[in-house]
Chains A and B, each alone.
Chain A
Amino acid sequence: MPRAARSGGPVARVHRSSLLLIYLLLVAALAGCGRTSPVSDSAEETSSTAGPLRIGAIPDQDPEVLQRLYGTVADSLADALDVDVEYVPVTDYAAAVSLFRTGDLDLVWFGGLTGVQARLQTPGAVPIAQRDIDEEFHSVFVVNSATGLAPSDDLAPLAGLRFTYGSETSTSGRLMPAHFLTEQGVEPGGFPGGPGFSGSHDATLALVASGTYEAGVLNEQVYEARAAAGEIDPSVVRYARTPAYHDYHWLLGPGAIDRFGEDLPDRLTGYFTGLSAEDPADAEVLELFGAGSFVPTEASNYDQIERIGRDLGLVN
């Protein structure tokens, strides 16, 4: 930055001083070749060193939570496994899947559907662990109070309302709700004017609060967190809760197993399931994830999600 800022300066004897400046910059640029990029770390990778373990997550949380969450997790994981761990931020569900496929991300906190997409596109990927709450995850349907609907288990009245999902490939904001709507005879792609895709759980809440959409569906964990913080608009009514399904889990890519050894999946599973609420450092990680503990998981837990995904044309 200081180098660039000074460049407007040489005015009087432009000729010689500008050549000097270019020379200095070239030197700086060459000297900087060993530098790591502020946006990625994948540039330098040799077979002699394993490089860092790059972890990431689908972006469905508060940014500052994501930053803190994965900073803490990276430190804790690095201590436990004695490898360099680095958190790589991603803003897009599809991008997280693609980067897992390309090997830019080694260990990713995926949602149920994105995990299936990533596993199918990346042969050799292994599910590592899920939270205790992910075994029994729920979504909640919300309606605007102007609809006059009272909480119920009957989803049929939603069919006539303007309705929004969250992100298109969100398990809790789209896939499973669509499945449960179908079970109750509501066409998930129906709704007056077609369903909207708000893009995030918070946007769904705001759009239902404004009345633009009369109903919507989102992740129960996010809903509870917002409710606890008193951030939910009074015009939003919690209408129904879906049955339980499997959701988020850690998925490990084959590239990392090649680099760190065949025992990496077991070591990682051991690390996550060994996190204990008794230990203060562990407790911090668990709290950030909103979990009591982590438990092992396996690919077959997501067979239902894969099937529904195929029905909805989200898994090829």
Chain B
Amino acid sequence: MTAVRTPPVAPRLRRDRRRWAWGLGGVAVLGWSLAGAGLFSGPVVNPAGVRQFGRFASAALSPAHDAEFLGVLAEATLVTVAYAALGAALAVALGAIGAVGLARTTWGRRRAGWTVSRSLLAVPRGLHEAVWGLLLLNVLGLDPWVGVLAIGIPYGAVTAKVFADLLDEVPRGGYEALLAAGAGRGSAALYGLLPSAAGGLLSYSFYRLECAVRSAVVLGLIGAGGLGYQLALSFASLRWEQVWAAVYALAALCMLADLGGRAVRRRVAAPRPAGGQAPTRDPLLTGAVVGSLALMAWSWWFLALTPATLTAGRTLDQLGYVLRAAWPPAADGDLLAAVAVAAVDTVQMSVIAIALATASALGVSGLAARRPGAGPGRWALGAGIRFALLLLRAVPPPVWALVLLFVLLPGVLPGALALGVYTLGVLGRLVAEATEEVDPRPRASLRVAGASRLGGWLYGVLPALSGPVLALALYRWEVAIRDTVLVGLLGAGGIGVLLSGRIAAFDWAAVTTVLATIVLLSLAVDLLSERTRTALR
């Protein structure tokens, strides 16, 4: 209303310096990583390996399906489900407790306490589930707790952080009013914070369950049983038909978990209208919660877990053995130099992986997103792409690393691409979901004004999408750093080579050093992405 009278001073286009600096920095880091992967210095492709790759790919059409193997898979699937359910349950429990210690609400103005508690999380969070599995295996032996704890501990740390953020994001008015009215902090949080955050907490818990299924399979690769174990055995002798059968079983599990989680999220986002006088419960949400509790009870029974193992004398003996061997960390010059080189490789691998995954995820997001009211052709195309993304993330990264190594020469690149392909499976889905959340009206109005498909997407969707996609990509970057551990073998480089070598030699002191490096790396990436997000907001 005031603007009409302002004399029209033509403003100049001022680039946001910080955004440009971050953007150019990102491009420079990507270029450095690609150069490190040897992309600009000689051949990286091995065309002769196409036949070996083709064997892997064509086996996708003829997965093993003899009755005996399917029986083995069915039992293995149950083990995987049980691990996933209990691991996710433990994560949510740990997350709920941890969130109290992490929320700004708890600490108020005492920033130091908040910072310390956040950095403490870096250790459980920075190590991959498979690494936790290997460590726990050395302490607990072949106990099913290995699988449950290996999922529960790192997931618990992530969940605690997310829960704390969700709690902190709830508008404070109600909470503070209750405090002012004399309520204790606990009960004020119970009435003033929890109800608003409940939907988000529930949605995220189910999302964790979906992730836990995939992690349970990775754990199988290190010997914790289940689908991953069968997959690892078949993989070691390159029985691709069996590998694919296990991958399809895993994909089906993921799809089930995804469907359940999606139904819950949708209901949380759009609750049923409450009718009548009596308080009613939403049957779907109640069913989901009761069903999950039932699944946990069954898993406990099926895995025959006993808490006694955790405190058994043998467990303590073995813990002592490992700790004595692991402390103090090795610090000889050769090892540190090797760690430094591997750390650089790891960063380059993760950068290439994330760049590839983000670009491709954006590329397919428009088609992978569900669009209500679209024709059957569009639906089929979308479903096909979503299924392809599901397969990309159902095939574990080490398998991708080997099959990509058939067609690429050894170096950082095969590992980076393996991670990139796997991450695309995860990120593609997340970006598609973010696309579904974007307000469709701006794009529709541009199309009505005659904009082409691409133009409508560029001006109507991409700007709204870039914020969430950047946040997702940065989050997956941190995960990719940890995942490089999985594809480290095969001369692919990175810190995973060092870790598996030191573990194979039972050089615990060096293992400590390598693990500390991984934790520091992921902490650094975490801090960097936090700053990036702030700068680009």
**Chain A residues with a Cβ under 8 A of chain B:** 1, 3-4, 7-12, 14-15, 18, 21-22, 25-26, 28-29, 32-33, 35-44, 59-63, 66, 88-95, 97-99, 101-105, 117, 121, 146, 162, 164, 167-169, 193-200, 202-203, 206-207, 209-213, 235, 313-316
Q: For the complex, give the distance between the alpha carbons of A105 and B303 in Å.
A: 19
- Residues on A with beta carbons closer than 8 Å to the beta carbon of B490: 164, 196-199
What are the 5 closest A-B residue pairs judged by CB atoms, nearest first?
A210-B49, A63-B233, A196-B491, A39-B225, A32-B301
- B486-503 toward A: CB 8 Å interface, digit per residue (1/0)? 000111000001001101
Q: For the complex, give the distance between the alpha carbons of A15 and B489 in Å.
A: 52
Place the interface of chain B in its size category.
35 or more
Question: Which residues of chain B from 398 to 417 have any CB-CB distance to chain A below 8 Å in the complex?
Answer: 398, 402, 405-411
Report yes or no: A211 in contact with B233, Cβ–Cβ below 8 A.
Answer: no
Question: Given A199-B236, A209-B52, A210-B51, is A91 in contact with B46 using a C-beta cutoff of 8 Å?
Answer: no
Question: Which residues of chain B from 47 to 64 have any CB-CB distance to chain A below 8 Å in the complex?
Answer: 48-49, 51-53
| Interface residue SS majority, chain A | loop
Q: Which residue on A lies nearest to B315, using beta carbons?
A: A102
Report yes or no: B411 in contact with A22, Cβ–Cβ below 8 A.
Answer: no
- Indicate the member of B139, B234, B491 with the most A CB atoms within 10 Å: B491
Report yes or no: B294 in contact with A21, Cβ–Cβ below 8 A.
Answer: yes
Question: Which residues of chain B from 265 to 321 have any CB-CB distance to chain A below 8 Å in the complex?
Answer: 281, 283, 286-287, 290-291, 293-295, 297-298, 300-306, 309, 314, 318, 321
- B229 contacts partner chain A, Cβ-Cβ < 8 Å: yes
Tell me how far the C-beta of A178 lies from the nearest C-beta in chain B, rounded to whole angstroms.
Answer: 13
Out of B139, B233, B291, B407, which one reaches A59, CB within 8 Å? B233
Report yes or no: A121 in contact with B236, Cβ–Cβ below 8 A.
Answer: no
- Residues on A with beta carbons closer than 8 Å to the beta carbon of B1: none
User: What would 15 more interface pairs be, CB under 8 Å, given A197-B489, A202-B237, A212-B405?
Assistant: A4-B294, A7-B295, A15-B281, A28-B297, A38-B303, A38-B304, A39-B147, A59-B236, A63-B237, A91-B236, A117-B506, A164-B490, A196-B489, A196-B490, A212-B49
A to B CB contacts below 8 Å, 21 in the list: A14-B290, A25-B294, A28-B298, A32-B302, A35-B304, A37-B303, A42-B143, A63-B234, A103-B314, A164-B410, A169-B505, A193-B410, A197-B490, A197-B491, A202-B236, A209-B52, A211-B49, A212-B409, A315-B505, A316-B505, A316-B507
- Residues on A with beta carbons closer than 8 Å to the beta carbon of B48: 146, 210-211, 235
Report yes or no: B306 in contact with A92, Cβ–Cβ below 8 A.
Answer: no
- Residues on B with beta carbons closer than 8 Å to the beta carbon of A95: 134, 137, 222-223
Out of B298, B306, B405, which one reaches A207, CB within 8 Å? B405
- B530 contacts partner chain A, Cβ-Cβ < 8 Å: no
Question: Which residues of chain B from 482 to 524 have any CB-CB distance to chain A below 8 Å in the complex?
Answer: 489-491, 497, 500-501, 503-507
- Indicate the member of B79, B405, B408 with the most A CB atoms within 10 Å: B405
- Residues on B with beta carbons closer than 8 Å to the beta carbon of A41: 142
Tell me how far the C-beta of B382 lies from the nearest C-beta in chain A, rounded to whole angstroms.
Answer: 27
- Residues on A with beta carbons closer than 8 Å to the beta carbon of B442: none
Report yes or no: A169 in contact with B49, Cβ–Cβ below 8 A.
Answer: no
Out of B137, B242, B290, B504, which one reaches A93, CB within 8 Å? B504
Q: For the complex, give the distance between the alpha carbons of A104 and B139 in Å.
A: 11
| Interface residue SS majority, chain B | helix
- B426 contacts partner chain A, Cβ-Cβ < 8 Å: no
Out of B293, B298, B411, which one reaches A193, CB within 8 Å? B411
Report yes or no: A14 in contact with B224, Cβ–Cβ below 8 A.
Answer: no
Question: Given A10-B287, A29-B300, is A193 in contact with B491 using a C-beta cutoff of 8 Å?
Answer: yes
- B447 contacts partner chain A, Cβ-Cβ < 8 Å: no
Question: Given A40-B143, A43-B304, is A92 in contact with B222 using a C-beta cutoff of 8 Å?
Answer: yes
Q: For the complex, give the distance between the alpha carbons of A76 and B264 in Å.
A: 52
Question: Which residues of chain B from 351 to 406 have any CB-CB distance to chain A below 8 Å in the complex?
Answer: 398, 402, 405-406
- B461 contacts partner chain A, Cβ-Cβ < 8 Å: no
- B138 contacts partner chain A, Cβ-Cβ < 8 Å: yes
Question: Given A32-B301, A66-B233, A98-B137, is A212 in contact with B238 using a C-beta cutoff of 8 Å?
Answer: no
Q: Which residue on A lies nearest to B48, using beta carbons?
A: A211
Q: For the complex, give the distance between the alpha carbons of A92 and B229 in Å.
A: 10
Question: Given A12-B283, A91-B223, A102-B138, is A37 in contact with B290 using a C-beta cutoff of 8 Å?
Answer: no
- Residues on B with beta carbons closer than 8 Å to the beta carbon of A35: 301-302, 304
Question: Given A197-B491, A212-B49, A313-B507, is A43 in contact with B223 using a C-beta cutoff of 8 Å?
Answer: no
- Residues on A with beta carbons closer than 8 Å to the beta carbon of B406: 206-207, 210, 212
- Indicate the member of B53, B410, B497, B501 with the most A CB atoms within 10 Å: B410
Q: Which residue on A lies nearest to B411, using beta carbons?
A: A193
Q: For the complex, give the distance between the alpha carbons of A207 and B402 in Å.
A: 8
- Residues on A with beta carbons closer than 8 Å to the beta carbon of B398: 199
- B90 contacts partner chain A, Cβ-Cβ < 8 Å: no
- Residues on B with beta carbons closer than 8 Å to the beta carbon of A33: 304, 306
- Residues on A with beta carbons closer than 8 Å to the beta carbon of B297: 22, 25-26, 28-29
Question: Given A63-B233, A196-B491, A202-B237, is A97 in contact with B79 using a C-beta cutoff of 8 Å?
Answer: no
